[in-house]
Each structure stands twice: as C-alpha cells, then as structure tokens.
A = this chain, B = another copy of it.
Amino acid sequence: MPYGYIASMKARPGHRDEVIDILTGGADGLRTAGCHLYVVAAATTDDVTIWVSEVWESKQHHDDSLKLPEARAAIAQAMPLLTGEFFTQETEVRGGLTGQP
C-alpha cells in the first residue's frame, strides 16, 4: 500500500510565499524518486502555516528522497525561514481519487 506523509510547518512572518516557492521548486524531479503525489498548500486561516500532503511508492522511497542533493539544498534553504514548529503524520494510503483523468 502506498506510503503517505502529511506535514505542516510555520514560516516566519512574511516568508511563507518564499518557503512555498522553495518547496514547489523541485516538484517535477520527485516523480522519478517514487513520488505519486505532492501537494503544497497555504492555510487560509493564517499567514504563516504551510501544509504538505505526499503519497510515495513506499516509506523507503520517501526517506531516500530526502538524501538527494536537491532535497538537502531545498531543506537547507527553507529551514532558516521556518519557526521550527512542525507537525508530521505518517499514513498508509487506502484509496481515493488521484490525478486528472
């Protein structure tokens, strides 16, 4: 069953768009790393919270992707713009509707 990962993080005030640009910048490269879905979204209830929903072939694929040079560079670039408050949840994806027809 596919591996799911849901995370939220808070940007320092005024930096959310910048963080979102970093997070979405390398999205195209994720497919070859075993990523099925990767959605980056801004909470509508405040100006700092970012939510990321991911679906991967397996937990191993997700873990391995974090070691790629481009992922490490993106994380290093984003970290100083974040408050350090993270929420993360690992899931087992059970079904639904994915992608356009």
| Cβ contacts under 8 Å, A67 to chain B | none
- How many residues on the A side are at the interface (Cβ–Cβ under 8 A)? 38
Q: Which residues of A contact B (CB under 8 A)?
A: 4, 6, 8, 20, 23-24, 27-28, 30-31, 35-45, 51-53, 55, 89-101
Nearest chain B residue, comparing its CB with the CB of A20: B94
Would you call B24 and A89 a contact (CB within 8 A)? Answer: no
Q: Is the CB of A91 within 8 A of B42?
A: yes
Decide if B4 touches A101 in the complex (CB within 8 Å): no
Given that A43-B91, A44-B91, A94-B24 are contacting pairs, would A37 and B99 also be in contact in the complex, using a CB cutoff of 8 Å?
yes
Known: A99-B99, A100-B36. A94 touches B53 (CB 8 A): no
A95 with B43: CB separation less than 8 A: no
